[in-house]
Amino acid sequence: TQQSLSKIESKIQHIVSRNGISGKGYSNEFLIYPKFEIYDESIIEGMRNIVVIEVEFNLFIQQYSTKRVFSSYNKSLKGTGYSKEKAIIDAISKISYSDRKLKEFITTAKEKILSYYQNNCDQIIGDSDALIKTKKYGQAVALLSSIPREAKECYARIQNKSIEAYNAYQEQKCSQNILKAKAQ
């Protein structure tokens, strides 16, 4: 249900923010997404029936453009409640922020992502040059600004290119606004 999805989203936000990364709604090259699968459901009969579910909770960090998975996490959980929805929410509540494997999952992804930027810096700069030449300045700025500060060598290399792309973007917008003003 929407409530379950909201709880999973909230858990993921807490997990990533506690581990030094966070973002929601940003256009970025990397994303984190869950898979929550129920693989067993039973009912314990009594004065009030109790639903017991067994689920598998998976998290993946993936590169958007290539679909390459940089890290994955898996945990089996059991939830109980007076309804299937309550049992699902109980299982979600058992996802622990302090799980050592979750921290390793995030750390592994960070290391691989930083390595990706260091190893592909020339390609990223080349792609931004192509975008600048075709006057797609906004896309060039977005591409260059996606490089994290922690990718020190690459980040230092793209600073001048970022300024060049941003200034060209500003000039383009300014020219467009002048034309609109003249048309008025």
pLDDT in tens, 141-183: 988 988 888 888 999 999 988 998 999 999 999 999 999 999 9
pLDDT band at 119, cuts 50/70/90?
very high
Does residue 25 register a pLDDT over 80? no
Residue 40 confidence (pLDDT): 93
Distance CA 1, CA 42 (A): 19
Confidence (pLDDT) at 34: 93
pLDDT at 146: 84
What's the N-to-C CA distance of the chain in angstroms?
Answer: 51
pLDDT one-digit tens code per residue, 41-91? 999 988 899 999 999 999 999 988 889 999 999 999 999 999 999 999 999
Residue (of 117, 119, 145, 118) closest to 131 by Cα position: 145
98 pLDDT tier (thresholds 50, 70, 90) = confident
Enter the tokens of residue 131: 């975008």
Q: Please check the confidence at residue 7 and state whether its pLDDT lies above 70.
A: yes
Cβ(118)–Cβ(151) under 8 Å?
yes
pLDDT at residue 21 is higher than 90: no
CB count, 10 Å around CB of 150?
12
The reply to whether the predicted model has a pTM over 0.75 is yes
